[in-house]
Amino acid sequence: MCVSAVIPAYNEEQTIGNVLKCLKDVAEISQIIVVSDGSTDDTANVAKSLDVEVIELVDNIGKGGAVKAGASTCINEIVLFLDADLIGLTSKHVSDLVKPVIKNETDMTIGIFKNGRIVTDLAQKVTPFLSGQRAIKKNIFEKIPNVDISRYGIEVALTRYIDKNSIRVKEVYLEDMTHVTKEEKLGLVKGVHARLKMYWDIVKILGVSSKKKQYK
């Protein structure tokens, strides 16, 4: 069974090439889709140069919308979601994420950074449900509501749906891997602003979930 990989990306020209090169070396991956979410740099061109499928969104609609746009064009029954700013990604990491789903040992895997950098290891240890590295059965993903409007809250939406419906999940440790932080990409002031915006998206999704519970 083969896997489709979806990479949502917003201005990730510096790192996306290495992520895609790694994916192209993994036997289980038969389709790679990059969704350039209104990027203003060379993200889309870098992806095109590596001969992968590229969806170019004119406007920045947020991670949730970009992920849904990519998933809608997947041809395989298993979808792998990876961030475009990963550092240290290897073919083993990818295989470790997809094989448990291929073998039907679980319905979704969540990748957790380990021994990468303290700043990213700690964040994922405290909030593993925010990890963007996941493999999931497509038929399950398609049932998750409001993915396209969740923006940075997409990981919370995924986790909430999984928990609510008793779907099998397995955490997979990704040794020696990390990612570029928002502060490193954008500078301290813009990076903090972007991080706060991300947290607000997450809070909104958590708020929606809480209201639904109250009205049951």
* pLDDT per residue as tens digits for the range 140-174: 999 988 776 555 567 778 888 888 898 999 999 99
Check residue 96 and give its pLDDT.
Answer: 97
Check residue 208 and give its pLDDT.
Answer: 45
> 3-class DSSP state for residue 31?
strand
Residues 6+ apart with CB under 8 A from 215: none
Contact criterion met (CB below 8 Å) for 139 and 79: no
Range in 47-56, 85-94, 107-116 with the lowest mean pLDDT: 107-116
Check residue 129 and give its pLDDT.
Answer: 55
3-state secondary structure 33-65: EEEEECCCCCHHHHHHHCCCEEEEECCCCCHHH
> 3-class DSSP state for residue 155?
helix
Return the H-helix or E-strand segment holding 54. Answer: strand 53-57
Domains and CATH numbers, the chain: 3-180 (3.90.550.10)
Sign of CA dihedral 92, 96, 97, 99: positive
Radius of gyration of the chain (CA): 16
Average pLDDT, the chain: 82
> 3-class DSSP state for residue 147?
helix
Confidence category of residue 198, pLDDT binned at 50, 70, 90 = low
Range in 55-64, 103-112, 173-182 with the lowest mean pLDDT: 173-182
Rounding to the nearest 10 degrees, give the CA dihedral for residues 40, 42, 44, 49: 170
Which whole-number Å values give the CA distances from 122 to 175, 201, 209, in the listed order?
14, 21, 26
The tokens for 50 are 């590596």
Inform me whether the pLDDT recorded for 95 exceeds 90.
Answer: yes
Check residue 211 and give its pLDDT.
Answer: 41
Inform me whether the pLDDT recorded for 195 exceeds 90.
Answer: no
Inform me whether the pLDDT recorded for 85 exceeds 70.
Answer: yes
Q: What is the mean pLDDT of residues 75-88?
A: 95
The tokens for 41 are 């740099």
Confidence category of residue 131, pLDDT binned at 50, 70, 90 = confident
Inform me whether the pLDDT recorded for 80 exceeds 50.
Answer: yes
Inform me whether the pLDDT recorded for 40 exceeds 90.
Answer: yes
Confidence category of residue 213, pLDDT binned at 50, 70, 90 = very low
Strand order in the sheet with 29-37: 53-57, 29-37, 3-9, 78-81, 134-137, 108-114, 169-175
Check residue 180 and give its pLDDT.
Answer: 72
Check residue 148 and give its pLDDT.
Answer: 66
Return the H-helix or E-strand segment holding 197. Answer: helix 188-214
Check residue 16 and give its pLDDT.
Answer: 96
Contact criterion met (CB below 8 Å) for 74 and 31: yes
Tokens 């993994």, residue?
26
Of residues 29 and 151, the one with the higher pLDDT is: 29
Which residues on adjacent β-strands are paired with residue 181?
none
Return the H-helix or E-strand segment holding 66. Answer: helix 63-71
